[in-house]
Structure 1
Amino acid sequence: MKRILSIFIMLALSLTILFPLTAYAVGEGNIDSGGGGMGSGTNENYWNTGDEGVRVTVVRASDHAVVTTPVDFTNKSPDNIQAHFGKVSKISYTNGFSLTPNAQTYTYVNPSKVLPRIISSGSGNANIEAIKSYFTDELIVRYISSITGFNYDTLINGDYKILLEPIAYMTFQGVRIAVTATEAALYDQQLGGGLRSKMVSLSHKNLPLAMFLETPDLGYPAWSGSTTSSASNADIISSLGLGIVRFSEAEPPVVSSHSYTYRVNTEVITSVTVSGGQSDPDHPVTVRFTIGGRTYTVGNVYYPDGDSQLVWVRWTTPSTPQTMTINVSVTGSGRASQGTITANIVDLSGNDPPNPVADDRNDSYSRPSVPNNPQKTSSSWGIWSARWHAYWVWVSDWNWYSDVDEGGHWEDDGSWEDHGWWDFGWNSYSASLSASMSIVPDAKAPTASGKTMKSGYGVNQTTTANVSTNQSSAVTGAQTAVTYFPEFRYQTYWRLLERTSSGYNAKFEFAKNKYSTYNRRTHFTPIWMSDGSYTPYTYLIDCWTPSGMLSINLTDSVTISGNLWSDWHIAPVKP
């Protein structure tokens, strides 16, 4: 008694450890059930409540092809089965497979998680919701995948279904047999009604009514007949003794993108947002960018369920203006998505102001408003990281061992299994852009004083840009600075500044002016410019990050007082 009591205590503890977690459904059960009381048996023809199991087969949804060898699940140890018909599914019988006795030893699997009651009897009815919950539990579906050798991700991608068939272990004419409902009906046909005459409550009522379809599937109809009366062999073969677990089509990873405008010969960051699909480190997403005939691959992309991940690639635009189509493909969970990005590559050079001349006039000039282009001086983004959260569970495997003196005993030959999960963490990154602009009179302006000068002389400009970031691989320095001038109303003509120092501490200056006598880095103010503030405007751009381009508006001024004509002195030549 002490040994028996200790066994029950160990069993109760192991079950408590084994199933503490909430079950997560990954499929949808197309299963219903009926049945009821049982008749009385004889010494040669009987069935005991609980002598049951379920045959499990993976079937391809498109053509109903059987893709795995059926496996019989049971809580029992039916090692005394003397007759059976092999591992044949209902679909195979429907397709013409003949009922054939199998001389090999009957094989079965005891799942680590106990099956719910499958076949109703006089001692109680099966709970169809418990059956559905069991066979749609993610752990059970994964277990089916493992036992059948069929890839889990493929199994649940929507292209396959699990066919379930109730099995009864009964004694018929003194012989222990294992049959599905379909096999029982086919066997009864061979016997001319011999099985029905002895075992009707089981073979033609409770066994076939243990499972039937709620909606048509895999070529079988939904059952609309009686759920409490015995059924005919024809009805059992065509419509009863089956349930189906089906899976929604796997959500493919989705790519979200937008169009870009880039400058020629510029290092840029192109990014997309990926969401949906399987996304843990065991099943990562892969993103491929095809740009100008070259493919850039970003692998090991993952993110929590219901969230997303920014994915980017760093590349250099071509040296000529053009419109490029960037193709993006995303694969994961056995599914793929496609996306396209339009990249408009432009050239800002070639719009330098014309040569100023001494008799230029603009009597109608009025000072324009300084532009205020979109400005973004900081950005942030992040990358998901994942750490495995181990959760060790004792999986029992109780076996009976015979003892010479005491008859035998149970032993738990189970093992610890890691039923853990992935915990996700967010790694934050950011970048910021700061800049300054300085306009000063050119050194060749003879009468300039500080930042005051006469019109008609040149100005020099220096623009500095500073970028700070904690992920330098994902951020470029500022690469483009364009200066616009009030005399052109900040339109029509501009100067593309030359980058004289690169990187995160870049420096920009006017390019050498071809109209300058001394080849100076200068811009000539128009001689007609009225006295007052003269304010060039610079748009600093092309600091690229995964979350977009950083840019900044810059201005600086000199003061115009008089014009260069006042520096001229005309006098007669002395003889």
Structure 2
Amino acid sequence: MKRLFSVLLALILLCCPLSAIPAYAIGDGNVDGGGGGMGDGTSTNSWTPGNEGVRVTVIRASDHAVVTTPIDLTNKAPSSSIYNFGKVSKLQYNNGQALSPVKGGYSCVKPVESLPKIISTNGTNNIAAIKSYFTDEQVIRSIANLTGMDFDVLTDGDYRLLLEPIAYYKFEGVMIATTATEAALYDKQVGGLLRSRMVSLSHKNLPLAMFLEVADLGYPAWSGSTSTAASDADIISSLGLGIVRFKDAATEPPNVSAYNYEYRVNTEVITSVMVSGGQSDPDHPVTVTFNVGGKSMRVSNVYYPEGDSQIAWIRWTTPSTPQTMTIPVTVSGGGSTRSATITAKIVDLSGNDPPNPIADDRNDSYSTPSVPSKAQKTSASWSVWRPWWKAYWVWHSDWNWYGDGNGGGHWEDDGEWVDEGWWEFDLDQYRASLSASMKIQPDEKSPTASGKTMKSGYGINQTVNTNVSTNQSSAVTGAQNAVTYFPEFGYQTYWRLLERMGSSYNSQFEFQKNPYSTYDRRTHFTPLWFPDGSYTPYTWLIDCWTPDGMLSMNLTDSVTIRGNLWSDWHIAVQNPD
């Protein structure tokens, strides 16, 4: 009759929701444990130490999907006719799969390397040995083979192992196999009878054989008693599980890639680094700290998904004197820090103005030089990862018996909905572009100029009009410097640093006032000896800074030289009248 009663109890089991638990592997076992004494068994309700095992399930971390059929590992295989609930993981019960009793057909694997002791009988757990076992490379390779997973795929950081302790024991005269979660669900369905008969095993030593050291994927670190029997609700929500991580995106230290820069003095610049490694989200943020001239500039909440990267930058103004600056960068996240060093060379482009031209200057060997073309970049793009929470609501049951005082009563589920979601990421794209035009023309003090034709020896004026467009103004500066080079110097040796007229994204540059100009004009004097033909200054527009580097442009314009200013002068006899 007892055997029949147990079978009938199994057949009336109903589905009960459960909480999700993904995992990871080699090197990081998130497992702890407890337990206590076993108490006395009976001929119909008993457990023998050593009749135990571990259910292993491969979980994909990104969407919490079960990607392989769970496998049961044990050193001492029970009879295949044992009652069981199939190969179902904690995560699958949570997703709605019902408890379904099976008579016989149970399969398990005896590993080549024997399992350590899993279930404590005296309160002293073998956690160090369990962690060592399930993070051993050969064991992981064996699990990969048994589950049909490629080892490199399993350990690339996208998957986790979910571990659940299993006990093989006699309940009401029938041998049965359960994980801790199945035992708690079973106990709810049989009105607490399993707890009544097997409390030391089913509600203490089995569920306390494994629990999390640190919160992971919505599951808390167990902070309750590790030596007394737990409730069904606590077992379902927090006990009877371990997680093995391979490459933990949340705790893997971030990497930082830094670049060297050349800046101009008194210039607003963007300095950036690239951060990667692990995963950074609002629960596990990465912070980047730049030390610029003894001042710390911190960039907090640098987020990115696992396997990707994120650029981080600061906006600052360079010093007023030329120098070489060393900028230490520290990246912290995942409980670790990494560092890098940026070298910034600060140069001054002023002070190389052409000398004062004189009337008898000559250059009989002059030949027209090629117009240079320096580095040009007129557009930039960068992106920022934006995390958002993917809600995943799970009902955590808490069944309680409410008696009516007359020997009757009813069960009520006093559970609650718990959000066990995860972070997803969207990628926000940003851009910047630089456009500009350059115009030179004869100075208005050139009396015989016509349009863009003039005589050598007179001055020219220049304007450079710039436009910067962007959809993230906080990360982009306007163009701040323009340098003009001249053909008479072979586009080297001497140059003019133009003056910026205004400080917006639409700025104009002109020559600075020429100290050799009688009228204090913004002019550059062409040499008297310059041959007839095209006179073409070249301008390099620079220092439009973005997280993606500096935008710059090559610009030219020309006037035509015909004759020289001496032809505008003549000597004549003065009329005595």
- Measured against the shorter chain, the TM-score band is 0.5 to 0.7
The residue matched to 1:487 in structure 2 has which SS? helix
Aligned counterpart for 1:148 among listed residues 199, 213, 223: 223
Pair 1:541 & 2:542 matched: yes
Q: What's the TM-score, normalizing by structure 1?
A: 0.64
Contact 2:480 2:542 survives alignment (8 Å): yes
CA distance in 2, matches of 1:458, 1:136: 84
Amino acid at match of 1:547: D
1:24 offset after TM fit, Å? 3.0
CA distance in 1, matches of 2:519, 2:400: 99
1:486 offset after TM fit, Å? 0.5
Q: 1:245 to 1:446 in 2, by over 3 A?
A: closer
Specify the alignment match of 2:371 in structure 1. 370
Specify the alignment match of 2:23 in structure 1. 25
Pairing of 1:290-369 with structure 2 (within 5 A):
290-369=291-370
Pair 1:284 & 2:285 matched: yes
The residue matched to 1:473 in structure 2 has which SS? helix
CA distance in 1, matches of 2:355, 2:458: 15
- Indicate the RMSD between aligned Cα atoms, in angstroms: 4.4
Pairing of 1:20-59 with structure 2 (within 5 A):
24-28=22-26, 43=42, 47-48=46-47
Q: 1:283 to 1:5 in 2, by over 3 A?
A: farther
Q: Alpha-carbon deviations, 1:216-243, whole Å to 9, x = none?
A: xxxxxxxxxxxxxxxxxxxxxxxxxxx9
1:563 offset after TM fit, Å? 0.8
Contact 1:257 1:340 survives alignment (8 Å): yes
Moved more, 520-529 or 421-430: 421-430
Q: 1:500 to 1:10 in 2, by over 3 A?
A: farther
CA distance in 2, matches of 1:301, 1:491: 43
Amino acid at match of 2:451: G
Pairing of 1:450-461 with structure 2 (within 5 A):
450-461=451-462
The residue matched to 1:47 in structure 2 has which SS? coil
CA distance in 2, matches of 1:149, 1:308: 39
CA distance in 2, matches of 1:540, 1:90: 69
Pair 1:485 & 2:534 matched: no
Specify the alignment match of 1:117 in structure 2. 166
Specify the alignment match of 2:496 in structure 1. 495
Q: 1:342 to 1:455 in 2, by over 3 A?
A: same
CA distance in 2, matches of 1:267, 1:11: 68
The residue matched to 2:221 in structure 1 has which SS? helix
1:536 offset after TM fit, Å? 0.2
Q: Alpha-carbon deviations, 1:448-478, whole Å to 9, x = none?
A: 1110000111101011111111211111111
Pair 1:414 & 2:412 matched: no
Amino acid at match of 1:545: T
1:324 offset after TM fit, Å? 0.3
1:305 offset after TM fit, Å? 1.5
Contact 1:7 1:410 survives alignment (8 Å): no
Q: Alpha-carbon deviations, 1:127-175, whole Å to 9, x = none?
A: 9xx99xx97999985677521389xxxxxxxxxxxxx99x999xxxxxx
The residue matched to 1:329 in structure 2 has which SS? strand
CA distance in 1, matches of 2:224, 2:343: 44
1:312 offset after TM fit, Å? 0.8
1:354 offset after TM fit, Å? 1.1
Q: What fraction of aligned residue pairs are identical, expressed as a percent?
A: 62
Q: What's the TM-score, normalizing by structure 2?
A: 0.64
Contact 2:257 2:274 survives alignment (8 Å): yes
Pair 1:511 & 2:512 matched: yes
CA distance in 1, matches of 2:262, 2:488: 28
CA distance in 2, matches of 1:6, 1:300: 53
**Contiguous gaps of at least 5 residues in structure 1:** 32-40, 56-72, 74-83, 94-112, 151-163, 170-242
CA distance in 1, matches of 2:445, 2:453: 13
1:6 offset after TM fit, Å? 13
Pair 1:432 & 2:438 matched: no
The residue matched to 2:567 in structure 1 has which SS? helix
1:506 offset after TM fit, Å? 0.8
CA distance in 2, matches of 1:353, 1:310: 41
CA distance in 2, matches of 1:498, 1:312: 28
The residue matched to 2:552 in structure 1 has which SS? strand
CA distance in 1, matches of 2:466, 2:484: 14
CA distance in 2, matches of 1:246, 1:440: 70
CA distance in 2, matches of 1:394, 1:524: 83
Amino acid at match of 1:26: Y
1:527 offset after TM fit, Å? 0.9
Amino acid at match of 2:46: W
Specify the alignment match of 1:550 in structure 2. 551
1:278 offset after TM fit, Å? 3.5
CA distance in 1, matches of 2:474, 2:296: 19
**Contiguous gaps of at least 5 residues in structure 2:** 1-6, 31-39, 55-89, 91-119, 130-161, 183-205, 231-241
